[in-house]
Amino acid sequence: MSAKTTNQRAWLLVAPVVVLVAFNAIIPLMTVVNYSVQETFGDNLFFFEGMKWFEEVLSSERFHASLLRQLQFTFIILAIEVPLGVAIALAMPRKGFWASVCLVLMAMPLLIPWNVVGAMWNIFALPDIGLLGKTLNAMGFDYNFTRQPFSAWATLIAMDVWHWTSLVVLLAYAGLSSIPDAYYQAARIDGASAWAVFRYIQLPKLKHVLTIAVLLRFMDSFNIYTEPFVLTGGGPGNSTTLLSLDLVKIALGQFDLGPAAAMSLIYFLIILLFSWIFYTLMTRGEAK
Amino acid sequence: MARIDLKGLRHSYLPNPTTDADYALKQVDLVWEDGGAYALLGPSGCGKTTLLNIISGLLCPSEGSILFDGVEVNDKSPEERQIAQVFQFPVVYDTMTVYDNLAFPLRNRGVPESQVDARVRAIADMTDLTDMLNNKAAGLTADGKQKISLGRGLVREDVNVVMFDEPLTVIDPHLKWKLRSKLKELHQRVRVTMIYVTHDQTEALTFADNVVVMHEGWVVQQGTPVELFERPGHTFVGHFIGSPGMNLMPCELADGGARVSGHQIDIARKIAQPKAGAKLELGVRPEFVTFVDPDRADGLPVDIVSVRDTGRNRIVETDFAGHKVRALVAEGMPVPERRAAIRFDPTYTQIYADSWIVE
């Protein structure tokens, strides 16, 4: 009988990753879990409160209102950015000098730091000195994003579309470039219309990259903080207070660690749930 | 249905071609008769696909003209030319069913649904797709998908020509044979002109009644498989078709025959006087080289170098006055050892001047 030797040294190789993930994700997350079930006082006094903060957050109207705003925001930008991104990618030249020019132009907004994007749009849209705000008012529109909720929303969405449609464009463009010429040639020979080429060749071939684009845009837009913070600060009133802005107000403004921690976890679970739903819907019916 | 004439076609992918080397197609003049089964044979990069795309209208030639029934179609789109093409890799519309894939070219042309149905079912029957008509095309295997591509190529009744660009590349060997016989059978049933592009001589010779051999942008010979075998028009045809290829050796003309390293070799037909200064070669296929009694006067003395058994016959490599000459010996026939003599069949011994046959 031969003795079974087990080599445990492989653990040493994964140890650095385990340590990294622990400090990077697990420990901070567990700290939040810890806060979410306790009442905190000064002098590091903690009292166990069970599910109290979760119940409070889930039944709070303030949370419902920011969640609804968040869902509206995400739905609107997805409904604009995905079709627009695909349309721009379809219109871009496939090769040559202009293809490179277009790609560089498209990559530009993605390279700008997020708070700079917020500051740029803030100044751009100011009704008295900003190019956009002043022009709109000169054209007879009553536009003031610091006072009117509708103007604030329109500016916020325009900013996000400007900032992030490029990501969808680049992904869709990469997907389109990977379609072999033979498909287009076959379609020409089969007498397919431009719409049929899009519907039966380009769209099916883009399905995978669009799944990724929708997931990324969903998660990023659901997490959005910096740009609306710089642009509107959540105002006027609470009209553009999205989930993350509200969360920061509770955690750092009011220093309610317990409710903020409970809200963070709920927030995280919502994103996870929606991502799973999107992914399942978009990949259903695929050959196993 | 149409007869297709190609006149003085030249094509270059470069914007300003100057020398011959810049052209992918150097000079092509061909006639494709209506209803023929043609093969376009040549190694990779010889210009086959370029020529095919010019006929189908996916490419516009740099020079020359394409005529369908005598009418120039250079500026016509693939759709207007009424052609069908099957590509090297299967092209299917993934989200459609097999049925919808086959119906697609007809529906795009506004054919009434009752005719579409009859036609799709007939084609599905010919290509063995009937059982899968309601399946999504994405789920099929590579050869299933290629059958859809073939079916889409054959589904229209009004096409002038169906072109196949190495359509069996992705197919398993045992299915290749089946699909090839199927195509041949389909051709006999529908009688539409078919052009089959391939680099595989077996595929070309079994499918086609007429084979066009291409080499470095030139059409080097067009003829039946027998003509290509018995009388290669160019040394490239001699060596590309047949296994092993034609034996070639430098020679000079003398006394109505040829002379190789001082040995007189008979040639059955009368040879025209080649251009002065041309490089002359004598070519004979291994099938037409036989061993003879070493004492015979017209025997050419050789040394046996090696014998390779291929199953049905043996390839004997010999050394004839410093030239490598291979002979094919049928299974069961004796092969002499070491010193021997060979003879070339005068009917099938050809003379080439600068690689082209001397008539």
Domain that holds residue A99: 63-244
Number of domains in chain A: 1
Q: Which residue has the tokens 């003309």?
A: B253
Does residue A127 fall inside a structural domain?
A: yes
CA gap B184, B107 in Å, rounded: 27
Does residue A167 fall inside a structural domain?
A: yes
Check B93 against A204: CB less than 8 A apart.
Answer: yes
Q: Report residue A3's pLDDT band, with 50, 70 and 90 as the boundaries.
A: low
Check A188 against B79: CB less than 8 A apart.
Answer: yes
Q: Which residues of B sit within 8 Å Cβ distance of A? A: 53, 56, 58, 77-79, 83-85, 87-89, 91, 93-96, 104-105, 108-109, 138-139, 149, 152
Check A191 against B105: CB less than 8 A apart.
Answer: yes
Q: In the β-sheet with B313-320, what is the strand arrangement from edge to edge? A: B289-292, B339-344, B300-309, B313-320, B323-330
Give contacts of A193 with chain B, Cβ < 8 Å: 108
Does residue A27 fall inside a structural domain?
A: no
For the whole prediction, is pTM greater than 0.90? no
How large is the ipTM?
0.73
CA-nearest of A274, A276, A279, A258 to A39 is: A258
- Closest CB to A196 among B87, B108, B138: B108
Please list, residue by residue across A48-73, b when 16 or more beta carbons sit within 10 angstroms of its beta carbon and e when fewer do. Answer: ebeebbbebbeeeeebeebbebbeeb
Least confidently predicted of A171-180, A251-260, B319-328: A251-260
Does residue A74 fall inside a structural domain?
A: yes
Q: What CATH number did the domain enclosing A204 receive?
A: 1.10.3720.10
Mean pLDDT confidence for A258-287: 82
Give contacts of B104 with chain A, Cβ < 8 Å: 190, 192, 200
- Closest CB to B91 among A186, A204, A287: A186
Q: What are phi and psi of A128, to 5 degrees?
A: -95, -35
Does residue A181 fall inside a structural domain?
A: yes
Could you give all domains of chain B from N- to C-terminal order, each with its CATH number?
4-236 (3.40.50.300), 246-357 (2.40.50.140)
CA-nearest of B66, B46, B75, B34 to B193 is: B34
B85 and B163 Cβ atoms separated by less than 8 Å:
yes
Check A191 against B108: CB less than 8 A apart.
Answer: yes
The string of DSSP codes covering B179-212 is HHHHHHHHHHHH--EEEEEES-HHHHHHH-SEEE
CA gap B222, A75 in Å, rounded: 64
* A280, pLDDT greater than 70: yes
- Bridge partners, residue B5, by sequence: B31, B67
* A287, pLDDT greater than 50: no
Check A185 against B58: CB less than 8 A apart.
Answer: yes
CA gap B116, B244 in Å, rounded: 48
- Tokens found for residue B59: 């490419």
The residue type at B118: A
Check A186 against B109: CB less than 8 A apart.
Answer: no
- Closest CB to B104 among A183, A188, A190: A190
Does residue A55 fall inside a structural domain?
A: no
Helices (DSSP H) in B75-130: which residue ranges? 78-81, 98-108, 113-126
Does residue A7 fall inside a structural domain?
A: no
Interface size between A and B, measured as CB pairs under 8 A: 50
pLDDT, position A288? 41
CA gap B203, B207 in Å, rounded: 6
Helices (DSSP H) in chain A: which residue ranges? 10-21, 27-36, 52-58, 61-91, 97-111, 114-125, 131-138, 149-177, 181-189, 194-197, 203-222, 226-231, 243-248, 257-283
Does residue A75 fall inside a structural domain?
A: yes
Give contacts of A182 with chain B, Cβ < 8 Å: 87-89, 91
What is the DSSP code (8-state) at residue A8?
T
- Closest CB to B109 among A191, A200, A205: A191
Walk along chain B (359 residues) in steps of 10 and give the mean pLDDT of each run: 83 82 84 88 86 87 86 84 86 88 88 88 84 85 85 85 85 79 82 87 85 88 89 89 88 83 84 82 90 82 87 87 88 78 89 87
Alpha-carbon distance B93 to nearest alpha carbon in chain A (angstroms):
6
pLDDT digits (tens, 9 = 90+) for A37-84: 888 777 777 777 778 777 877 888 888 888 899 999 999 999 999 999
pLDDT digits (tens, 9 = 90+) for A90-131: 999 888 889 889 999 999 999 989 889 888 998 898 888 888
Check A192 against B108: CB less than 8 A apart.
Answer: yes
Residues constituting chain A: 288
